[in-house]
Amino acid sequence: MTTDGPSREQSPADPTRSWLAQSPSESEFFSSSQQQQQQQQQQQPPQSPSSDLRQQPPQRPRLADAAQTIKPADILKVHQAPCGREGLMTGIGTGFAVLGLRWVIGSPIWKAANWGVGAFVAASAAGWEYCRFQRRKEMTKMKRVVEVYDRKHAERAVAKKTKEEEDKRLQVQREEEEKRKERGWKFW
């Protein structure tokens, strides 16, 4: 049996996450169905590596894999994530409002609390998504402004360069005209 992560005897791949290391006593917690699956896999005759590749579909990431990537310090930084604060504040306000309304209307406190928690989760997700939508719109506008600014800046640079060239050409013409006047014949 092969595993993707470190074995139980090895340290975790990331030494900063010591809480991910599994102790040998965890084998006691396998369910009986998992033990049966392991025994069936051991009893199957070995197959050639080429047939193994054809039969097994590629493994998709699991929720447990995603949960293992979360560090405890990440939980303390949720409010620093883009739109995290706005989403949480919206959820907290909505959750308390729904809890209060349900309780004032006459629902038992546990039922009102359940509604409040549900409203918190839904409003937090909605607030976060709305904030992300607004940020995407703002980023699109900023990209347009930068493009327009760059284009106008380039146009101004070209206009300035052509104006300088024109000024130089006129200056040269004036100087030539003055030289001609000084050198030329004077009829009067």
Mean pLDDT of 6-33: 48
Q: Does the pLDDT value for residue 15 go beyond 70?
A: no
Return the structure tokens found at 65: 């894999």
Mean pLDDT of 85-93: 94
DSSP state of 44: S
Measured between alpha carbons, how far is 5 from 42 in angstroms, rounded to an integer? 20
Mean pLDDT of 161-178: 90
Please work out, in degrees rounded to the nearest 5, the angle formed at the alpha carbon of residue 83 by the alpha carbons of 148 and 135.
20
pLDDT value of residue 19: 47
Q: Does the pLDDT value for residue 8 go beyond 70?
A: no
What is the domain partition of the chain in residue ranges?
Answer: 80-173
pLDDT value of residue 4: 52
pLDDT tens for 25-78 read 444 444 445 555 566 666 655 555 555 556 677 788 888 888 888 888 888 888
Mean pLDDT of 1-21: 50
pLDDT value of residue 133: 96
pLDDT value of residue 186: 59
Instruction: Name the amino acid, one letter, at 127.
Output: G
Measured between alpha carbons, how far is 95 from 110 in angstroms, rounded to an integer? 14
Q: Does the pLDDT value for residue 22 go beyond 70?
A: no
Return the structure tokens found at 140: 């699109």
pLDDT tens for 99-149 read 999 999 999 999 999 999 999 999 999 999 999 999 999 999 999 999 999
If one counts every other C-beta atom within 10 angstroms of the C-beta of residue 120, the result is 20
